Amino acid sequence: MSRPVKILIAWVSLLLCSSIIHALVIWHTGLRIEPDVPPAPENEQEILIEQVPETTARQPVVPEEQLEFEQELEFEPPDILVAPKAAIPPPPDAILALRAQGQGFQGIDVPRGLALVSISEGSGYGGFKTGAGNGLGDGTARFVPYIAGLREAGLDVVFCIDATGSMGWVIDEVKTRIEDITRFVRSLVPVARFGIVAYRDNNDPEFLTRAQALTYSTVKLRKFLSGLKADGGGDRVEAIDSGLADAIKLSGWRIGARKVIILVGDAPAGQQRIGNVIQMVEQFSRSGGTVSTLDVSDQANPQLLEAKLGHELPRHLYRNAPMPEFLRISEAGRGDAATLDGEIKLTKRLVKLIMGDQFAAEMQALLDEL
């Protein structure tokens, strides 16, 4: 037998032995892993119940610790609240456009002290309506859908205030009542934001303008106002153009929200600047904004001077109306031109201008709470 044949026979023998050993190992392993448990009798099941220690089961439940916040929480909703409907700003004649939408509207509830005042439509004769005593008159048919539209789209309000020396009482009242103003407006439009721009003279050594951008935070508004004082001035004209420019460009308006600027002052912009102011306000109005003016000068409000002097004055010698420049600005901004209308307090007048002077009667019941 040749040597190659012997080698082949040796390899075949080794392979055969390896296969036999492998098979025996597998068989033996299978016997070891096979369960050797007798089958359980039918209809019998063993149930194991885990015993809970008595001390553990009877432990009292400790209430969770209540969280207390020392500072006001700031909540910033998205810039666009309802994108499909609010992408286009309300038209300038929003009242006429919303009148048709008011049919069948069920009304809204707003806080009045600790109670609720229901503002809703009704029926009746001679301007009287039936229902849960709204007392708001025929204008409710326009006011309710108007507020509903603001709740959906949002409301942004910027106060543009003259901060020269003669405006000290205005600055002080805004500081004192800013929380009342914001709380009242948000009772109607919870998603309302507020901003402030203060302006002085072009040659003022301290500042020309200062601004607090639109915010939901009353803390930020109070902090801004706390560092603001009325000072400077002395000439007839003020930097209204700079104040309005900052209010329009730097406030951070939301897309689709109703944009309102309230210009508060007692002096005009001057003939050299009024043209630029009108052009700027008209452009803001075309983008969906509104500019209203409030003349707080003694000429427009002789009752203010009477309160200071303590006696009556011949009111026919006073203008008793907004200054011509403020009339032009409000006309260009498609807003209202107003005086304090016999009031000494500023708060109610500002709120009326924010919501629209045309709704003053509808808001009167609510304004009595301010």
Neighbours of 333 (CB within 10 A): 25
User: Where is average pLDDT lowest: 41-50, 138-147, 192-201, 247-256?
Assistant: 41-50
Whether the predicted pLDDT of 326 surpasses 70:
yes
> What b-and-e string marks burial along 239-266, b requiring 16 or more CB atoms within 10 Å of the CB?
bbbbbbbbbbebbebbebbbbbbbbbbb
Mean pLDDT of the chain: 77
| 336-345: pLDDT as tens digits | 999 998 776 7
Least confident of 125-139, 183-197, 342-356: 125-139
Residues 161-217 have pLDDT tens digits of: 999 999 999 999 999 999 999 999 999 999 999 999 999 998 899 999 999 999 999
pLDDT band at 127 (very low <50, low <70, confident <90, very high): very low
Confidence of residue 360 (pLDDT cuts 50, 70, 90): confident
What is the predicted pLDDT for the residue at 108? 54
pLDDT at residue 78 above 60?
Answer: no
User: According to the model, what pLDDT value does residue 370 have?
Assistant: 66
Percentage of the chain lying above the pLDDT 70 cut: 68
Locus of tokens 């930097």: 239
pLDDT digits (tens, 9 = 90+) for 257-301: 999 999 999 999 888 899 999 999 999 999 999 999 999 999 999
Out of 34-38, 94-98, 237-241, 279-283, least confident range:
94-98
What confidence category does residue 324 fall into, taking pLDDT thresholds of 50, 70 and 90? very high
Which residues lie across from 263 on neighbouring strands?
160, 293
Looking at residue 316, what is its pLDDT? 87
Does pTM top 0.85 for this prediction?
Answer: no
Query: 214-263: per-residue pLDDT in tens?
Result: 999 999 999 999 999 999 877 778 999 999 999 999 999 999 999 999 99
Most confident range (mean pLDDT) of 25-34, 59-68, 214-223, 226-235 is 214-223
pLDDT of residue 150: 93
Provide the pLDDT for residue 136. Answer: 40
Q: Most confidently modeled of 17-31, 132-146, 189-203, 295-309?
A: 189-203
Q: What is the pLDDT of residue 156?
A: 98
Mean pLDDT of 27-49: 55
pLDDT at position 229, please? 93
What is the model's pLDDT at position 126?
A: 32
Compute the distance between CA of residue 244 and CA of residue 261 in angstroms, rounded to an integer.
8
pLDDT at residue 112 in the model: 47
For residues 322 and 300, is the Cβ–Cβ distance under 8 A? yes
Confidence class of residue 90 from pLDDT cuts 50, 70 and 90?
A: very low
**Residue 1: pLDDT above 90?**
no
Of the two residues 159 and 7, the one the predictor is more confident about is: 159
Higher-pLDDT residue of 18 and 118 is 18
Task: Identify the pLDDT of residue 226.
Answer: 95
